[in-house]
């Protein structure tokens, strides 16, 4: 759900605010370097705003998580999820109540930077909310690291599959046993994360073409739902079970 949300937010932000991704900090860093090199200061300011806001959002998110852990607050993830939803809602209201600004060929730099800051900070908060499942490091706002981990998991599973085959086990027997293999399970999880991001970007593009920034109503609702789920089944407890 969180990766699906990130896919929508990232593409809607790209389409509605100056073609700038708010979750891809590698590309944004390169863009910042390019704009600095050619002295395109307004564009550099936009890239710098995204980078700074993402980092500040991640710092704030980790601070909230750490404070909650120290106070033994099991549902602390709800705080960061609702804060993320509030930032996205603020962005949505900014577009709804100031439509004339976005109809200009070049919206005011301050408004563009504020819009980018809201979405990038939201993605930073989400990045801090879920960082691991057991020993696995998880990123729900960008998928490059997830694809790398997917490749590692597939490689590990392939060697295990080969070793079982050499022992004389049959193909379908090994395939059934794969469901209990940790590398196979990790590969399935990483594939699901990547696919959810892809589906989110497809849904975000389709909805943005029809409703513009109002497409963000769906991720806001999903985040509220995720916070409710956290109240019933605290994410922190589930992570502890995975670690055990």
Does residue 86 belong to any structural domain of this protein? yes
Report whether 1 contacts 226 (CB < 8 A): yes
Q: What is the pLDDT of residues 99-151, one digit of tens each?
A: 777 677 778 899 899 999 999 999 999 998 887 766 677 888 888 888 998 99
Q: What is the pTM of this model?
A: 0.88
Q: What is the pLDDT of residue 75?
A: 86
In which band, very low, low, confident or very high, does the pLDDT at 71 lie, cut at 50, 70 and 90?
confident
239 SS3 class: helix
Does residue 70 belong to any structural domain of this protein? yes
Does residue 67 belong to any structural domain of this protein? yes
The pLDDT of residue 163 is above 70: yes
Can you give the length of the chain in residues?
Answer: 244
Residue 221: how many CB atoms within 10 A of its CB? 12
The pLDDT of residue 166 is above 50: yes
Does residue 198 belong to any structural domain of this protein? no
Report whether 4 contacts 214 (CB < 8 A): no
Domain that holds residue 9: 2-138+211-243
Does residue 131 belong to any structural domain of this protein? yes
Give counts: helices (H), strands (E), the chain: 11, 2
Instruction: List the beta strands (DSSP E) in the chain.
Output: 132-133, 136-137
Does residue 160 belong to any structural domain of this protein? no
Instruction: List the beta strands (DSSP E) in 134-201.
Output: 136-137
Cα diameter, the chain: 70
Report whether 201 contacts 7 (CB < 8 A): yes
Question: What's the number of domains the chain is made of?
Answer: 1
Does residue 190 belong to any structural domain of this protein? no
Does residue 80 belong to any structural domain of this protein? yes
């Amino acid at each position: 759900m969180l990766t699906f949300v990130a896919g929508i937010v990232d593409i809607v932000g790209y389409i509605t605010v100056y073609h700038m991704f708010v979750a891809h900090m590698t590309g944004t860093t390169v863009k910042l370097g390019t704009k600095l090199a050619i002295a395109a200061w307004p564009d550099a300011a936009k890239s710098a705003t995204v980078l700074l806001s993402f980092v500040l959002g991640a710092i704030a998110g980790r601070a909230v998580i750490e404070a909650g852990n120290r106070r033994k607050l099991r549902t602390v993830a709800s705080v960061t999820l609702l804060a993320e939803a509030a930032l996205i809602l603020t962005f949505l209201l900014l577009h709804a109540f100031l439509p004339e600004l976005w109809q200009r060929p070049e919206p005011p730099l301050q408004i563009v930077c504020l819009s980018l800051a809201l979405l990038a900070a939201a993605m930073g908060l989400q990045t801090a909310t879920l960082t691991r499942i057991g020993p696995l490091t998880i990123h729900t706002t960008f998928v490059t690291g997830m694809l790398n981990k997917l490749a590692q998991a597939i490689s590990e599973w392939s060697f295990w599959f080969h070793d079982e085959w050499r022992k004389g086990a049959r193909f379908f027997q090994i395939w059934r046993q794969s469901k209990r293999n940790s590398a196979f399970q990790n590969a399935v999880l990483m594939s699901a994360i990547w696919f959810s991001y892809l589906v989110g970007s497809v849904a975000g593009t389709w909805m943005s073409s029809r409703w513009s920034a109002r497409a963000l109503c769906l991720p806001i609702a999903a985040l509220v739902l995720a916070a409710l789920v956290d109240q019933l089944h605290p994410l922190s407890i589930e992570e502890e079970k995975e670690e055990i």
